Structure 1
């Protein structure tokens, strides 16, 4: 069965598309055009899938048909001459914007699924990655290769075809953001690509010039954004009517099944030639090269078109036709042909009336354009139309090429005289065939491309003489230094590190300041490392030199950080320098991980068992609520804050293990509850480790003997307890090196005390202090501005920071009228700097397509703010735009549902009598126990164990309750199911950690009786990713996940804009940084009735500024609504501390209200 298929178009859920892109209108227009198989439009939007399920019914295998009741609403609009079967195939476009091989890539791919069920699974997978609800064609920060992997894993009948492969933006081979080959893009999964879509601006002969494309079937589709654009390009088949038959024909390229394509004339495509639309400049490739790629009118880079890009990759001469080439036909849409003849626009009422009349007389549009005899066309539409169609079929057209987003024009007649002449020929000859003979035309059609006629009308601007190159210098490729069009190597291996470096190599790659720090080992050392000065690199090279140059045993080295993320980065750097075998022997971790490790190994000395659990914050609340039920919610939070402050501010530890503040009854009851639960809280890990070392000389001696070389990162953030623990470790003679920056001390509210850094030489006699001042991160303007801010603090430590590269930029300071307008401005700026997220961005003028010297992708941007409450408006603005983003902040992963319940289940496999974790599980979900019922069960557990903790006491107490207790039957059943789940988990303790997590998650879903939401699924996926490095080390994993901080939530692999607080941004860097809410009262944050450390607030702003590499944008709003109040705050004094010469001040254009304008008019009279 011969079929016309158009399987790449859109739905009304896609941006910048017609509201008539509904299934009913697609069914109608498919018949008007003569198309038998049409894609559903989009594939990723849940709302569209709901419409598909409501309006389509299964037809042949993998295909669908419109339900009769839906078809009836538009059936009367289809003439009987056009009526025919229409089948739908589920398929749609996905936009991938990401960074690969150090370049931003923007690639559109069309994805297909055989069933509604597979489509739903695909949507669920994609929603874990990005926002699929803001746009029918979602924008994902996802590598195309990874998208293909997801598609293949969903269903082996799912397929992916790269879309319009040559378009400058948003295509796999495009000049602006594409690759040089499919292998470079899809790497190991390239064999799963069997077809590519050529796009409107190229035709098969252009693609035949690239020999490696012979391996792929060339397909064409309309990419329609409105129903009348359907089938402007299409693909022809002769197969049975089924999903698999169509794709098998594309895979094989069998010429008896795949019959070729229907094409646009490529010159009509809006990116065919090079040019600059704003200046009306349209060039052939040779002219572009002669002008060094710069517009002759404005000097900005021109957009390199499809024809030029083909020339760059071509390895065949024009006119080459491979043996496997399929036929094709180039057509002009019938409304355009009628518009030319009638001398009106193709969308005019006159054209539309004539169009429908002809379809009623002759049949579908494609048949009129390609098959119906000219005599019949002449009889129905007149001789001029017949002559025009004859010329189109023969390729005798006049082309004005499209460029830089402006469609070209294809004409059948060369002006008014030619059209009138054709009319006269038709009148007198009465035979359209005779008109060809009479006109002397000899063109044999367009099987091969005709020679380009330089005399064709176009907007070609001659190059000015001063920019002209010598003839021998002209090549059909752009100069290497054109940043906007420069292409990365097609060899992925060229992007890998060199490896195999020696100690001498590491050391000589450091600057002189870093070398001095890395070489100093004779005394205690404090390195003052300003932002971006290579702190981690200096510290890791110093550690590597201890092993290579000093002969230090790797196991004798301890490196302490403040976040898991920093520890992971340090481990990776040390592995690069030393290899896995030696680096794995170095102890690297946070202070809390170190404390946990020491307590598990030596804790018996002070009565702590090795299998203690670590309580996250919600579990601390549960424990204290049980211990002190009289406390209200506010009192409970205040009590926990006080307990934490006491533990972190340890001032005296006695041999009895008590603190001078421990007389408080709340403290006593809380500590007793911890001991009864065999649990420690976050702060205990430091406090109890320090107490242990002070109370047991043997343990202290053993630990001091173990670590002869100690390095501490971010030393400005240590608190009293951490400093005490460190002093104990060093007291045995270990060599100490600390590194950090007192001007980046921002955790005073948590008990951190930068004075320990300032008094380093007093605390460790003989110590030396060195400074790192060369900055490898930020532009000098950003550094100068940051120094002007921090220098206002009376005890600042920073000396002048010197940028390692010269780039003159100004800080943008933008005033928005409201906080909502501020959020919209941030989103617009991201869209602008990425270079547009869609064709609409470019065509609407929302984004200036002149390009930027940088090559930004979504992960290059962060939006920072003082309070997490500011995130909501930013999230809403990014949701509306469809730009992928991730919000970092708030609670740690282990404190979020359902992760905390899954973690609780896993803790119970190690500590089956942990009352806190039992209560977490039993009081949540379906048929849950009340808090009072759980408390009663606790009493029974204590009785079961006769006042002391014994293994399995809780399961026995629960078993007794299910037999003889007073609980209702549903709760008893729930207890039994919970015990069964925990015992199954415990019995399979040797299974891989990933399997245990999966089983625990599934078990918890069953217990609570509700499926996980998309957000919860994403949290579980993050938990799985965090677990991957631990393999089967469950206890180590639970310890690590319980010690995560806000800063650990950032995932650099996610290609998304990052929204986070200024505190969470510590230690990170981004090419572009927005700091929102730069207003008095917010930054610095000065809440009522609370003492404020303005110096620390200034340091916090300094930290935010120095996260920026290339661009820093400071925004503030004239009016802000926060915490239920409307505020009008003036610009932050921190910003006014920056000299105006470094600022580029911008503000929103004021809107003139209609009422005010009317009042002014009245006053005139």
Structure 2
């Protein structure tokens, strides 16, 4: 008689099984890259439900992205069946906290129908707060103030804490602005991302009854990517774990790369100190990469001091060497990548561009890669670029929906009041807001009482009243209609559909994006009618760049080292492996070993994304941010093992010049001419649309330069300096400038915004 296989325990290796079958008490699962941590989490939940009879409603599983939460739920559906999971809570930290505040927000003064402001909305509120507190944007950048406030909120601090212990003038100003910023959020019945965590912790700090209710509800808590938790998330989990301490965390200290977002690697390193009776399980068997890729990654990360020792291994046999490629500049680097992708496809070693990811440390590096991929006709997608949810027409539609849900949302109103144009400008909006404040009513109510506003003309009063009636009608519809039907009514009654469909191709594309949003809304019609709109707005507000990554898209993925975490590809190219680029110049200049160790962990993350092939590329010179630098190769390349690594140190064989023989300054023109001639020959006879670039004649090299040796010049950020040399470069000019405080810099005139002093 055949023995029926156990779908929960049989697929696991001994270490995975040890973690899955752990009973009560704290559990630390140190899961190396590609070691099956998602499998362990999902199988543990299934084991708790099936074998330990823990109700699904008593389990909370927390992830960092909606994508990870969705994947976990889909796996669980297959393991234990949908019907047993109806009451299971799986979601992101921010999503969980939003649900908590929908129930218990009033304890800390938050209305249950609050809106969640995204980054653009937050910046608008912050700018108003800066204006209201006379904080000059010319002296204090809004981004810098926002970063200070966000960091303090993640540390569970308030404006008074910042004001009482400032590190400098920026902190003092931020504390003043922050107080007004929070007041504006509350006036608009809104919270920002950081508030979700901060206020959830405040609920537990304020109300023992609420704390006990949530502790009693969840008998077991499971957390993914624990190494990325910040102070607020750490405290939230301590509250929820309570005395039972049934807290199972999965993470890898070698992949802690988000300290700039408040993540603290000490949370995972000190877990055994925080929970002395914790069971620790190491998952070191890798199911993703070849051994050569794993050895290369380990050879780099083992140079870090603050880490728990682990060495990944795999059953996979064979595998090609990790390849290091040297390029002349960023354009040549991109060309090497493109040619290697073409070779891999031609020889059947990559099934298409979708197998490939090109990684870079900063978004600005993608420009040269994009230009080259277009020239070579290689399809690509950028993860983290202008996302679907940031497109104007999508944000407009969402602002209308937010205003239907929350009539107090003055920032949503500001976006749509004159979209489509209704003759209602900034002056009218300011008068409307002033009236709402004066009469202590919502902006939604003030719309229909516009005849009270004596500072505007009758025509504007009528337009406001008419708009108010449309919004009241939509608010009524929102209480009765399914969400997709509500969107249909919205675009019709407001005139937004007619506004977009203006007969142009761009208008049709924008209308298609609104229709795509409506398609997304159809996913919510299974919910009770009153939950559809709030759930839709909440989940969209919490979408991350990685959630928008399209796995099946037939295109290479261009993505930053940070954003790629959690993804995997058969072929990975890590570009810009130079000192000052990667590791980043900020980490080097900080003088802190902890910052360099984080950069090294980021390198480890990048290498371990590769399943079959890993390439690390660097350029001898790179133009970035309008500056040309000749950086040495990254220290991380020096840390690679001597075995299992192939170094391609020459220009392509057809160039005939070895790097050692090439005089960089003298021979650049020769190299550029040969590169252009090769490309022109390759594309000869093809229509312009096939070449992937604009068909225009190459600009002749200018014989005269704008700047001459001895000229005094001013740079926007580097200050005043003196020109040492200026050389024509194709249709640009490379200017070498000596700055008294910053040293000698090479700058491209077209980017650097140099002016004569």
TM-score bracket for the superposition, by shorter chain length: 0.7 to 0.9
How many angstroms does 1:610 deviate by? 0.9
Aligned to 1:1138: 640
State the Cα distance separating 1:952 from its structure 2 match. 3.6
Aligned residues: CA RMSD: 3.0
2:552 aligned with 1:1063, yes or no? no
> 2: CA distance between counterparts of 1:553 and 1:996?
36
Alignment correspondent of 2:651: 1148
**Deviations, residues 375-412 of structure 1 (Å, cap 9, x unaligned):** xxxxxxxxxxxxxxxxxxxxxxxxxxxxxxxxxxxxxx
What is the alpha-carbon distance in structure 2 between the residues aligned to residue 1056 and residue 1021 of structure 1?
24
Determine the C-alpha separation between the residues in 2 that align with 1:902 and 1:1154: 51
**Aligned residue among 129, 135, 149 for 1:631:** 135
Residue from 9, 22, 25 that aligns with 1:523: 25
Change beyond 3 A, Cα 1:1015–1:1073: farther
**Partner of residue 55, structure 2:** 553
Q: Compare 909-918 and 872-881 and name the one that shifted more.
A: 872-881
1:991 aligned residue: 481
Matches within 5 A, 1:360-759: 504-629=6-131, 630-633=134-137, 634-650=140-156, 664-759=175-270
Residue 815 (1) aligns with residue 319 (2)? no
Is residue 2:464 matched to residue 1:953? Answer: no
Q: SS of 1:898's equivalent?
A: helix
Partner SS for 1:802: coil
Residue 1084 of structure 1 pairs with residue 588 of structure 2: no
Contact 2:269–2:308, Cα closer than 8 Å, also in 1: no
Aligned-residue offset at 1:583: 2.2
Secondary structure at 2:328 match in 1? strand
Tell me the CA shift for residue 516 of structure 1.
0.4
Tell me by how many angstroms 1:931 deviates: 4.3
Stretch deviating more after TM superposition (1133-1142 or 565-574): 1133-1142
Instruction: Tell me how far apart the structure 2 counterparts of residues 809 and 893 of structure 1 sit (CA, whole Å).
Output: 38
Residues 652 and 631 of structure 1: CA distance in aligned 2, closer, same or farther (over 3 Å)? closer
SS at match of 1:988: helix
Contact 2:500–2:508, Cα closer than 8 Å, also in 1: no
SS at structure 2 position matched to 1:509: coil
Q: How far 1:1156 sits from its partner (Å)? A: 7.3
- Quick check: which has more Rg, 1 or 2? 1
Task: Please state how far the C-alpha of 1:899 moved relative to its aligned partner.
Answer: 2.1
SS at match of 1:1084: coil
Matched, 1:1029 2:523: yes
Q: Which residue of 1 aligns with 2:544?
A: 1045
Structure 2 residue 324 is matched with structure 1 residue 833 = no
* Structure ranking higher on relative contact order (CA contacts 8 Å, 6+ apart): 2
Structure-1 residue corresponding to 2:398: 903
Deviates more, 1:640-649 or 1:895-904: 895-904
Distance 1:582 1:506, change over 3 A: same
Paired residue for 1:1115? 617
The secondary structure found in structure 2 opposite 1:1112 is strand
Shift of 1:1142: 2.0
CA distance in structure 2 between the aligned counterparts of 1:704 and 1:518, rounded to whole angstroms? 22
Match of 1:857 in 2: 352
Output the CA distance in 1 between the equivalents of 2:129 and 2:158.
26
State the partner residue of 2:307. Answer: 796
Check 1:916–1:1069 CA distance in 2 against 1; reply closer, same or farther (3 A cut): same
Alpha-carbon shift at residue 871 of structure 1 (Å): 1.4
Q: Secondary structure at the match of 1:1045?
A: coil
Give the paired residue count: 633
- 8 A Cα contact 1:861 1:1058, kept in partner: yes
Q: CA deviation at 1:936?
A: 2.6
Q: Label 1:1138 to 1:929 Cα distance change in 2 as closer, same or farther (>3 A).
A: farther
> Residues 928, 723 of structure 1: CA spacing in aligned structure 2 closer, same or farther, 3 A cutoff?
farther
Distance 1:793 1:766 in 2: 27
Q: 1:1074 aligns with which of 567, 570, 573?
A: 573
Task: For 1:996 and 1:1089, locate their aligned partners in 2 and report how far apart those are by CA, in whole Å.
Answer: 54
**In the alignment, is the contact (CA less than 8 A) between 2:57 and 2:89 conserved in 1?**
yes
Deviation at residue 522 of structure 1 after TM alignment: 2.8
> CA 1:659 to 1:711, structure 2 compared with 1: closer, same or farther past 3 Å?
farther
Q: CA deviation at 1:890?
A: 4.4
Aligned CA distance change for structure 1 residues 1155 and 508 (closer, same or farther; 3 Å): closer
Which residue of 590, 598, 601 corresponds with 1:1096?
A: 598
Give the drift of 1:968. Answer: 8.8
Partner deviation per Cα, 1:652-700 (whole Å, 9 max, x = no partner): 999x9x9988993222111111111111111000000110111111111
Shift of 1:886: 1.1
Report the CA distance shift for 1:954/1:1103 in structure 2 as closer, same or farther (over 3 A). farther
The question of whether the paired residues in 1 share the 8 Å contact of 2:27 and 2:279 is answered with yes
Match of residue 201 from structure 1: none
1:957 and 1:924 map into 2 onto residues whose CA distance is: 20
User: Compared with structure 1, are the counterparts of its residues 732 and 907 closer, same or farther at alpha carbon in structure 2 (3 Å cutoff)?
Assistant: farther
Q: Within 2, Cα distance between the matches of 1:785 and 1:723?
A: 32
Partners of 1:924 and 1:1008 within 8 A in 2 = no
Partner of 1:44: none
Task: Render the CA deviation track for 1:436-467: whole Å, top value 9, x for unaligned.
Answer: xxxxxxxxxxxxxxxxxxxxxxxxxxxxxxxx
- Take 1:1120 and 1:967, find their aligned partners in 2: how far apart are those partners? 58
Asked if the contact 2:574–2:617 (Cα under 8 Å) also holds between the matched residues in 1, the reply is yes
Q: Structure 1: how far apart are the matches of 2:573 and 2:66?
A: 25
1:1040 and 1:1115 map into 2 onto residues whose CA distance is 38
In the aligned structure 1, how far is the partner of 2:391 from the partner of 2:669?
50
Query: How many Å apart are 1:979 and its aligned residue?
Result: 3.9
Offset, 1:635: 2.9
CA contact (8 A) 2:501 2:507 kept: no
* 8 Å Cα contact 2:450/2:462 also seen in 1: no
Contact in 1 for aligned 2:227/2:268 (Cα 8 Å): yes
Q: CA deviation at 1:1038?
A: 0.7
What displacement does 1:923 show?
Answer: 6.1
Aligned-residue offset at 1:754: 1.0
SS in 2 for 1:807: coil
| Partner Cα distance (2:125, 2:4) in 1 | 53
Structure 1 residues 542, 503: closer, same or farther in 2, change over 3 A?
farther
Per-residue CA distance 1:519-553 (angstroms, 9 max, x = gap):
11232001000000000001100010000000000
User: 1:468 corresponds to which residue?
Assistant: none
Quote the Cα distance in structure 2 between the aligned partners of 1:816 and 1:973. 65
CA change 1:1089–1:781 in 2 (3 A) is: closer
Change (3 A) 1:932 1:1014: same
The answer to whether the aligner puts 1:883 opposite 2:382 as a matched pair is no
**Pairing 1:85-484 to 2, within 5 Å after superposition:** none
Does residue 768 of the first structure (1) align with residue 279 of the second (2)?
Answer: yes
* 1108 and 998 in structure 1: CA distance in 2 versus 1, 3 angstrom threshold: farther
Gaps of 5+ in 1: 1-500, 836-850, 1158-1165
Question: In 2 relative to 1, CA 994–1129 (structure 1 residues): closer, same or farther, beyond 3 Å?
Answer: farther
Q: Which residue of 2 aligns with 1:780?
A: 291
Deviation at 1:1045, TM superposition (A): 2.0
- Cα pair distance change 1:1016/1:832, threshold 3 Å: farther
Q: 1:626 to 1:923 in 2, by over 3 A?
A: farther
Name the CA shift for 1:755/1:880 in 2 (closer, same or farther; >3 Å). Answer: same
